[in-house]
Chain A
Amino acid sequence: MNIALLTSEIAVVILALLIIVFDLLMPRQEARRSLGYFAVCGLLGILVYTFNQHGASATVYHGFFVVDKFALFFKQLFIVATILTLLFSFDYIEGLTHNTGEFYALLLLSLVGMMVMASANDLLTVFVGLELMTIIFYILVGFDLRSSKSSEAGTKYLILGSAASAVLLYGMSWVYGFTGSIVLSEIAAHITASPAMLLGLGLMLAGFCFKMSIVPFHMWAPDVYEGAPIPVTAMLAMASKAAGVAVLLRVFLVAFADLQAYWLTIVSLLAGLSMIVGIIVAIWQTNTKRMLAYSSIAQAGYILSGLLAADAAGVKGMLFYAVLYMVANVGAFAVTTAVNNQYGSDKIDDLSGLSQKSPFLAVVMTVSLLSMAGLPPMAGFVGKMYIFMAITDKGYFWIAMLGLVMSMVSVYYYMLVVKVMYSKEAKNQQEFTASVSLRIVALISLIATLFIGIYPGPLAELANAAARSLW
C-alpha cells in the first residue's frame, strides 16, 4: 500500500488544520489577511507537488483510490480554482465574517472532498468525497450571517442536496447488490442489463446530475448561487461542478460502459435540456450571480454532451471545456466581487458604467462572458469545437446543432451585460477601487482565456493524455 499517493490530500488537510490553529493563536486583526496568503502559498506548494505525481498510475486501499493522469488533471484544476478564488475574495471575506480562518479552513476541506472524488475508484470513496465536499458547501453557502438570503440558500441546498444524496446512495446500494462489488472495475466485470441494475444506474445518474446542476435537477442552483457568498458561488460553479463531472466520467465510462446503449439517449436529452433551459431563462435575470448560475447550467449541458462520444476524444473535450469554463468564470466572478465590494449588491445594473470606472475589469468581464458564449478567439470557441467534433463523429449531430443555436442565443444575454457595462452611465462618480490580488486574478483569467483560445495545443495535449488514462 502506497500512502505516498495520498500526500496531496493529506497536505491540504494539514493546511486546513494549521489555519484553524493559527486562527486561534493569532490576535484577531492580524489573523485576517495573512491566513489567506498562507492558504494560497500552501496550495501553491501542493500544486507544484502534484506535478511530481505525473506519470504515476497506481491504486491504494484495494483499488479504492486511484492516482492517474485523469485524477491529477482534476486535482490541479480544483487547486487552481481554489487559489484563484481565494485571491480575488480576500476583501470580500473580510467583510463577510470575523472568522476568516474558519472560512479558509472549510474551503480547503471542501477542496479535499473534491480531490478525493477525482481519485475515487469505488462507490464508497465516491460517496465519502462527495459528502465531504457537499456538507461543507452547505455550511459555506449559509456562511453570511448578515443576509437572510444566505441562510435560505443554505437550507435549500441542504435539504435538496441531502435528498439527492439519499437517491444516489439508494442507487449505489442496488448496483452493489446486483454486482456484489463496489469497486468500479469489478462492477464493470459483473454488470448485466437487468431492471434492478438499470434502476440503480438511473438513480445514480439523477444524483450526479443534481451535483452538476443538469436540467431538470438544477432547481436548487439559481437560488443557492444567488444566496451564497460570492467566493462560495464561484467554487460551486467551477470546482464542485467539475468534481461532479470527474466522478460521473469515471463511474459511467469505467463501471457502466457496457450499458452505454441504455444511458446515452438519456444523457443526450439531459444535455440538450440543460443548454436550452439554462440559456433561455438566463435572458430574464437581473442578478449577476443568478445570471451566472443559469449560464453555468447551460455550460454544464455543454460539458455533459461530451459524454455522448464515450471515447477519449469526447472526454478530452470535456476536460478542456472544464478548464476554460473555470478560467472564464474566475474572471466573471472576480469582477462581480469587485462590484459587490463597491456597491454591496449583485445587480446586473451595478455593472453600469464599469467601462469608464475600470476599463480593465470591463474588458475582463466581456472576454469571460464571450468565451462562455463560444466566440473566437476566446477559449470557449475551441472548447465547443472539440466537444462537438467528438460527438458528431458518433452521430449526435442534432446536439451539436442545438448547442450552436443555443450559443447564438446566449450571445444575446451575455451582450446585454456587456451593453450595461459599456453604454449605461455609472450610478455615481465614486472612485472605483479593486485590490491588487483581484486585478492579478482578473489579468490571469484574461490572458489564459485568450491564450487557450489562440493556442489551444498544450492544454489539449494535457487533456488528451488525461482522457486516455481512463481506458
Chain B
Amino acid sequence: MIGLVHFLTVAAIVFAIGLYGVLSKRTIVGILMSIELMLNAVNINLIAFSRFITPEVLTGQIFAIFTITVAAAEVAVGMAMIFRVYYDRNTVHAARLDEMRW
C-alpha cells in the first residue's frame, strides 16, 4: 500500500535533485528547469498532505494551483531575462554573469 511517507520521500528526492540542478547546471535555462523541479516537489508535498491529512478540505490542492500559476509567471519572466542576457553577452552560461562582484 502506498502511503503518505512514500509521497513525501518522492517529493524530497525531487526537491533535492532540483536543488542539485540549480547549483550545478551550467546554463540559465537548465537552472530554471531545476527550479521548476523544486516547485513541483512542493506540489507533490502539498497534494499528498491534502489527501492524507485534511481529506475533507482542499486547502493543499488549492495551494498547489497557486504554486503552479506563480511558477508559470516566474518562468515567463525568466525566459525574457534569458533573452536579455543572451542579447547582451551572446551566452546563457551562469558562470559568465560575473561583471559585478566584491
Contacts and interface: CB of A to CB of B under 8 A. Distances in A.
A152 B77 contact: no
A155 B66 contact: no
Interface string A405-418: 00000000000000
What secondary structure prevails in chain B residues at the interface with A?
Answer: helix
Given A169-B39, A173-B42, A284-B102, A182 B63 contact: yes
Nearest to B4: A177
Nearest to A173: B45
Contacts, number: 124
B35 A128 contact: no
A226 interface: yes
Of listed B46, B62, B84, B100, residue having the most chain A CB within 10 A: B100
Contacts of B102: 284
A169 B74 contact: no
Nearest to B89: A148
Contact of A158 (B38, B66, B78, B89): B78
Contacts of A159: 22, 28, 31-32, 35, 78, 94
B89 A174 contact: no
Contacts of B22: 159, 163
B15 A170 contact: yes
Given A148-B99, A163-B22, A135 B74 contact: yes
B81 A151 contact: yes
With most chain B CB atoms within 10 A of its CB, the pick from A165, A170, A173 is: A173
Contact of B46 (A153, A176, A178): A176
A183 to B, nearest CB: 9
A182 B94 contact: no
Nearest to B40: A166
A333 interface: no
B38 A127 contact: no
Contact of B101 (A135, A181, A223): A223
- Chain B CB count within 10 A is highest, among A152, A178, A222, for A152
Given A169-B67, A174-B45, A177-B53, A152 B100 contact: yes
A155 B82 contact: yes
A180 B89 CA distance: 48
Given A148-B88, A149-B99, A227-B100, A177 B81 contact: no
A124 interface: yes
Interface residues of B, number: 44
A139 B31 CA distance: 18
Contacts of A182: 59, 63
Contacts of B101: 223
Determine chain A's interface SS by DSSP, over half rule: helix
Given A138-B81, A158-B81, A124 B66 contact: yes
Interface in B15-69: 15, 18-19, 22, 28, 31-32, 35, 38-39, 41-42, 45-46, 48-49, 53-54, 59-60, 62-63, 66-67
B45 A170 contact: yes
Interface string A184-224: 00000000000000000000000000000000000000110
16 contacts: A124-B66, A131-B73, A138-B81, A139-B80, A151-B81, A151-B84, A154-B81, A154-B84, A158-B81, A159-B22, A162-B74, A162-B78, A163-B38, A176-B59, A177-B8, A182-B63
Given A155-B82, A156-B97, 9 more contacts: A124-B63, A127-B70, A138-B74, A148-B88, A148-B89, A155-B28, A162-B32, A169-B39, A290-B100
Interface of A: 123-124, 127-128, 131, 135, 138-139, 142, 145, 148-149, 151-156, 158-159, 162-163, 165-167, 169-170, 172-174, 176-178, 180-182, 222-223, 226-227, 284, 290
